[in-house]
Amino acid sequence: MGAAGCGGPAGSGDVTLKLVAADYGNSPKTSSSVYWKKLAAEFGKRHPDIKVDVDVRSWKTVDADVAAMVKRGDAPDMAQVGSFADYADKGELYSADQLLSVPVQSSFVSQLAEAGRVDQKQYGLPFVASTRLLFYNRDLFDAAGIKAPKNWADIASDARALKDDGVPVPFALPLGSEEAQAETMMWMLSGGGGYTDTTDGPYTIDSDENVRTFRWLKDNLVGKGLTGPVAPGKLDRADAFKEFTEGKVGMLNGHPTLMNDARKAGIHFGMVPMPGKDGAAKSSMGVADWMMAFKQNKHAKQIGEFLDYVYDDQNVLDFATQYDLLPVTYSANDEMSVDDSEKDLHQFQKTLSTSELYPFGKSSWSQVSGLIKKDIGQAVEPGNDPQQVLSKIAKQAGAADAAAQ
């Protein structure tokens, strides 16, 4: 792992670019540093005047690490992390059109490019993407004599049948502090709502649609004992996933990583798009991680040349397939869609074109996400009014958004 800020030996390049990137691996062998160092070396052969110094850090610290670097005046040239809007608001980032060639800039999947905008200009370059599907345990469903749900009524009736058949957790609803903002968004979209109406519009957390969604969850799943013994507000996603791989969960929302974990555990599972209230949902939830480029070292030309190489289809595919993620460009997605060796990801790909992402372009989002993680579980607790809980979060989110303007 290279140290950010270190230059190469004499004659190794006229410009040294510093890249800080998140680690998607879980061991030295699978670390993202292996990918980045190989990519940087190959790029260096084509551009001997540009050296790329790679510093790969844990997802647990990388966002805070980059923030600390920027604060002390030692910003990297590029950072591949989880958010970008704060830096864009402060004028610290290059926009996409200042860096990328036209073909690369126009290659991004439109939903992802749109989510990377702040004030109608793209600063966040999507690096990898993912979507979410509803997983179900086929063996438990067969034993209960039920089929995959197509609407909310099916979810409720399937969950009841699973409970009657002795399944400990008919529907896992992780609204705990780990990733409650994701589970919340999936259900909001399923109910015709969302966090905002437009990419840069105000928060709509307590909209009528969202309130109806959480009332349905409270009355039809949680209140009827169909979400297991742990209160949703105390259940983290990792624990829900673990129970699914142990055969204790009938249904839950999941991402591609769960496929491999479940398969290794011998779970016979199926996947369907998250149903809407009365049928197909208007959209699914998409997730993206981001690349951004800082102005501090004035290396726009060299950064652009490197990022054009990063977004070459083969490089995009190599990284995405290694970590069971989705490519961020149309052409790379087209390649993946006809590759039988990646057929497990094809269902996730199908929902990418209708996906909606977090409001990444709002610099208040990280704070609002924290509010949701902290309080959203209260919306389905016995004795609580979902509207009051959502209105409380909405008021705090509005204040955070106003303060960030």
User: What does 155-179 look like in DSSP terms, one character per residue?
Assistant: HHHHHHHHHHTT-SEEE----STTT
In this predicted model, what pLDDT tens digit does every residue of 23-82 receive, in sequence order?
A: 999 889 999 999 999 999 999 999 999 999 999 999 989 999 999 999 999 999 999 999
Task: Give the per-residue pLDDT at 46.
Answer: 96
Task: Map out the domains of the chain with their CATH numbers.
Answer: 15-130+286-356 (3.40.190.10), 133-273+364-404 (3.40.190.10)
pLDDT at 7: 40
107-137: buried (b, 16+ CB within 10 Å) or exposed (e) per residue? bbbebbbbbbbbeeebbbbbbbbbbbbbbbb
Residue 13 in this model has a pLDDT that exceeds 70: no
Residue 6 confidence class, pLDDT cut points 50, 70, 90: very low
Residue entry with tokens 């040349």: 305
Cα four-point dihedral sign 279, 337, 139, 254: negative
- Amino acid identity of 105? Q
| Residue 33 confidence (pLDDT) | 96
Could you report the per-residue pLDDT of 312-369, keeping only the tens digit for each?
999 999 999 999 999 999 999 999 999 999 998 999 999 998 899 999 999 999 999 9
Residue 213 above 90 pLDDT? yes
**Each residue of 248-259: pLDDT tens digit?**
999 999 999 899
Residue type, 122: Q
* Mean of pLDDT values over 171-187: 96
Residues with Cβ < 8 Å from 256, sequence gap 6 or more? Answer: 130, 324, 325, 344, 345, 348
- Could you read off the pLDDT of 214-227 as tens digits, one per residue? 999 999 999 999 99
Closest-CA residue to 362 (of 153, 138, 118): 118
Which residue, 59, 55, 52, 53, is CA-closest to 24?
A: 59
125-149 pLDDT, tens digit per residue, is 999 999 999 999 999 999 999 999 9
| Distance (Å) of CA 99 to CA 55, 94, 250, 313 | 21, 7, 47, 18
